[in-house]
Amino acid sequence: MTGIAYWFPVIGVVGLLAAALIYFFIKRMEVTNPTMVEISEAIHDGAMVFLRREYTILAGFVLVVFLILSFLISPLTGAAFLVGACSSMLAGFLGMKAATRANVRTTHAANESGIGAALSVAFAGGAVMGLSVASLGLIGVGIAFLLYLNGVLEPSHITGFAMGASSIALFARVGGGIFTKSADVGADLVGKVEVGIPEDDPRNPATIADNVGDCVGDTAGMGADIFESYVGSIIATIAIAAVGSSKILNITPENKVLYMGLPILLVSIGLIASLIGVASIRVLRGLSPATALRTSTILSAVLMIAGALLAINGLGLELGIFWAIFMGTLAGIVIGLLTEWYTGGAPIRRIADSCKTGAATNIISGLAVGMQSTAAPVIMIAATILVAYNFAGLYGIGIAAVGMLGTVGITMSVDGYGPIADNAGGISEMSGLGPETRKITDSLDALGNTTDAMGKGFAIGSAALTALALFSAYAKTVGLETINLIEPSVTVGLLIGGILPFFLGDLTMSAVGRAAFQMVEEVRRQFREIDGLMEGTAKPDTARCVDISTTAALKEMILPGIVAVASPVVIGLTLGPETLGGMLAGATLTGVLLALFMANSGGAWDNAKKLIENGYLGGKGSDAHKAAVVGDTVGDPFKDTSGPSMNILIKLMSIVALVIAPILI
């Protein structure tokens, strides 16, 4: 393993170089239309200002936690935490840079060269994010593993890296989610409803903020989320293997390094497979965009699965591990498809039909669909756990999560494509480009909604599996033989844990409500006070709107962040490690269920509205459409703020528990 291990960071660097190449390829493309340049600069600047201010606040938080960890646990854990946090921030920064460069160039390509070229650019922008996430994760974990092999680090220190990634992810997801939805809801409530101008109209002062929000929430937030799952699943698997004993696998003190290295080897293979998948888009661009994206994703998955089989055979490990990996990969794909169905299939027609009797019945049926949509993905996760455990013990659960996340390079590229296509549409509207261009960007955007839904499902599924793997790692590390539900202390932990996702849901939805209200007031003020704004002769003060979203997002992300980090510590130190175990289980259960419920309700309302806008039941302006808009607005914080925040909450709490395990023993 030692020989191979030196290759892990090297492969990571190769991936990062590929991302850099793609970035410069995008940046080199010239955009000539001055309006487009101006708009894209405004979006870029808004996004960068947000990141800078966010990272400034986070620097303080990271420093404090670094110091606490260094004194309480170990300076090496603190250092790993610092590197993990910086890696996550770097990945977010690179992804945002690429997205805010690729958006306008996608519009340009759509305008000049047609849909194939535009798809290439948008996908390339997403690929920078996808490859950065995978590469930075691999470099970080790879170097940590080398340091372990050379006796510098203990496995317990490495968990700090995951906690660093996790902490940043929470703030990025919550902050990004609040930013994007306060801008979106605020822009829509005044623009579309009160003033009666279309989406992305340049006269609307909140439009730029809305587009910045797409990058901040869907690119940086999603990237940090998946980065956390990726790193978390690898490190959970390492931690489980490090403890050694297993009922099913033949892990011994001598050979355990093989089991510890396997997840890193696996994601190295996954990164190579993803690079091939990304490159294949150039060959596949003749196909329809949807088919091209799907084919490249499946190609990478198949390559990784094949590589995993070779690796397991080559290292002489049990074949059962392969089945765990296979099941994890399969579950990721199935859950993505299930999400696509619930937010795009028959259920959305049912929701659209319920708009006939008004907004209330639309809300009821959307909530019902969301509730229904929790069952199948959770059963898929349960089946994965059973199969993985049966074939490879607790190690199997960790490695199944790694299997699901191994090809993150390509899945995140596809997912990162969505907000870029969305932005490209906004820019073409704001720049007043012709209907031909708008049609291309619209069709790319529609596909983006699908990839977005699949990405959300994938993010939830991977979060669930990662959290369960981290939970197993926690129990093993603390040396708990049982977390006994018959003990009331565990039941109490379960109950307290179960509350937390509801608490987070309340905090994030209320935050969006407050921020959107401020935004509405500001947009109304501008339409009232700026002469000529409505007529298009004066310009709106877009920077002010960006600032409102930024300030609100940064202020409102603090409390959820502190609660998530502090609650495992408080419960673990006061009520003990068993109660903490119960709390993690409770939070994971309700967190996963609420995440699915909220993300899928929101996605379904969105697409039901789009169905009506495309002419169903009278189209835009009909009573059914008005009812559908209410559902869509409720769905905004559901699917883009509260729902995704759950993913992070459950992983972060488990990670914190794992990190503080040494002081709980």
User: Applying CB under 8 A, does 490 fall inside the site for a copy of itself?
Assistant: yes
For a copy of itself, the closer CB: 488 or 619: 488
Cβ proximity of 369 and 453 under 8 Å: no
- The Cα–Cα gap between 55 and 172 comes to 10
> Given the rule CB under 8 A, which of 31-39, 125-133, 172-180, 367-375 is the region that contacts a copy of itself?
367-375
User: Applying CB under 8 A, does 241 fall inside the site for a copy of itself?
Assistant: no
Residues present in the chain in total? 665
Written as six digits, the tokens of 134 are: 């995978």
User: Applying CB under 8 A, does 90 fall inside the site for a copy of itself?
Assistant: no
User: Applying CB under 8 A, does 401 fall inside the site for a copy of itself?
Assistant: no
Cβ proximity of 225 and 232 under 8 Å: no
Per CB under 8 A, the list member of 509, 552, 653, 661 interacting with a copy of itself is 509
Written as six digits, the tokens of 91 are: 């990945």
The DSSP line for 162-227 is HHHHHHHHHHHHHHHHHHHHHHHHHHHIIIIIII---TT-TT-TTHHHHHHHIIIIIIIIHHHHHH
Least Å distance, CB 453 to a copy of itself, is 19
Per CB under 8 A, the list member of 72, 258, 290, 364 interacting with a copy of itself is 364
For a copy of itself, the closer CB: 61 or 503: 503
Cβ proximity of 449 and 636 under 8 Å: no
User: Applying CB under 8 A, does 634 fall inside the site for a copy of itself?
Assistant: yes
User: Applying CB under 8 A, does 233 fall inside the site for a copy of itself?
Assistant: no
Cβ proximity of 110 and 437 under 8 Å: yes
Per CB under 8 A, the list member of 73, 183, 187, 369 interacting with a copy of itself is 369
> Given the rule CB under 8 A, which of 28-36, 208-216, 505-513, 616-624 is the region that contacts a copy of itself?
505-513
User: Applying CB under 8 A, does 593 fall inside the site for a copy of itself?
Assistant: yes
Least Å distance, CB 71 to a copy of itself, is 30
Residues 168-187 interacting with a copy of itself (rule: CB under 8 A): 185
> Given the rule CB under 8 A, which of 278-286, 299-307, 477-485, 542-550 is the region that contacts a copy of itself?
477-485
The DSSP line for 537-579 is SS---HHHHHHHHHHHHHHHTHHHHHHHHHHHHHHHHHH-HHH
Per CB under 8 A, the list member of 78, 418, 505, 643 interacting with a copy of itself is 505
Coil, strand, or helix at residue 319? coil
Per CB under 8 A, the list member of 9, 125, 426, 637 interacting with a copy of itself is 637
> Given the rule CB under 8 A, which of 124-132, 209-217, 552-560, 578-586 is the region that contacts a copy of itself?
578-586
Per CB under 8 A, the list member of 30, 254, 481, 531 interacting with a copy of itself is 481
Written as six digits, the tokens of 548 are: 């409102």
Per CB under 8 A, the list member of 299, 385, 430, 650 interacting with a copy of itself is 385
Q: Which residue carries 């829509």 as its tokens?
A: 188
For a copy of itself, the closer CB: 298 or 575: 575
Distances (CA, A) of 656 to 28, 165, 473, 483, 567: 43, 11, 12, 18, 9
User: Applying CB under 8 A, does 359 fall inside the site for a copy of itself?
Assistant: yes
For a copy of itself, the closer CB: 251 or 509: 509
The DSSP line for 112-132 is HT-HHHHHHHHHHHHHHHHHH
For a copy of itself, the closer CB: 269 or 378: 378
Binding string, residues 413-452; x marks residues near a copy of itself by CB under 8 A: ----------------------------------------
User: Applying CB under 8 A, does 559 fall inside the site for a copy of itself?
Assistant: no
Per CB under 8 A, the list member of 90, 143, 517, 525 interacting with a copy of itself is 517
Coil, strand, or helix at residue 150? coil
- The Cα–Cα gap between 474 and 423 comes to 41
Least Å distance, CB 379 to a copy of itself, is 7
- The Cα–Cα gap between 562 and 599 comes to 24
CA dihedral 40, 46, 50, 53 (to 10 degrees): 130
User: Applying CB under 8 A, does 365 fall inside the site for a copy of itself?
Assistant: yes
Cβ proximity of 132 and 19 under 8 Å: yes
Per CB under 8 A, the list member of 189, 243, 355, 599 interacting with a copy of itself is 189
Beta-carbon contacts of 286 under 8 Å, excluding residues fewer than 6 positions away, are: 116
Least Å distance, CB 413 to a copy of itself, is 30
User: Applying CB under 8 A, does 374 fall inside the site for a copy of itself?
Assistant: yes
Per CB under 8 A, the list member of 258, 288, 502, 576 interacting with a copy of itself is 502
Least Å distance, CB 369 to a copy of itself, is 7
User: Applying CB under 8 A, does 597 fall inside the site for a copy of itself?
Assistant: yes
User: Applying CB under 8 A, does 58 fall inside the site for a copy of itself?
Assistant: no
User: Applying CB under 8 A, does 239 fall inside the site for a copy of itself?
Assistant: no
Residues 193-232 interacting with a copy of itself (rule: CB under 8 A): 193
For a copy of itself, the closer CB: 281 or 564: 564
- The Cα–Cα gap between 642 and 591 comes to 10
> Given the rule CB under 8 A, which of 48-56, 127-135, 278-286, 489-497 is the region that contacts a copy of itself?
489-497
User: Applying CB under 8 A, does 379 fall inside the site for a copy of itself?
Assistant: yes
User: Applying CB under 8 A, does 110 fall inside the site for a copy of itself?
Assistant: no
For a copy of itself, the closer CB: 280 or 491: 491
Longest CA span, the chain: 77
Cβ proximity of 197 and 191 under 8 Å: yes
Cβ proximity of 229 and 648 under 8 Å: no
Cβ proximity of 121 and 137 under 8 Å: no
Say how many C-beta atoms besides its own lie within 10 A of residue 432's C-beta.
11
> Given the rule CB under 8 A, which of 231-239, 257-265, 591-599, 648-656 is the region that contacts a copy of itself?
591-599
User: Which one-letter DSSP state was computed for residue 481?
Assistant: S
**Short-list 316, 234, 219, CA closest to 271:** 234
User: Applying CB under 8 A, does 629 fall inside the site for a copy of itself?
Assistant: yes
User: Residue 146 is which amino acid?
Assistant: L
User: Applying CB under 8 A, does 293 fall inside the site for a copy of itself?
Assistant: no
Coil, strand, or helix at residue 536? coil
For a copy of itself, the closer CB: 142 or 568: 568
Distances (CA, A) of 302 to 309, 315, 400: 11, 20, 15
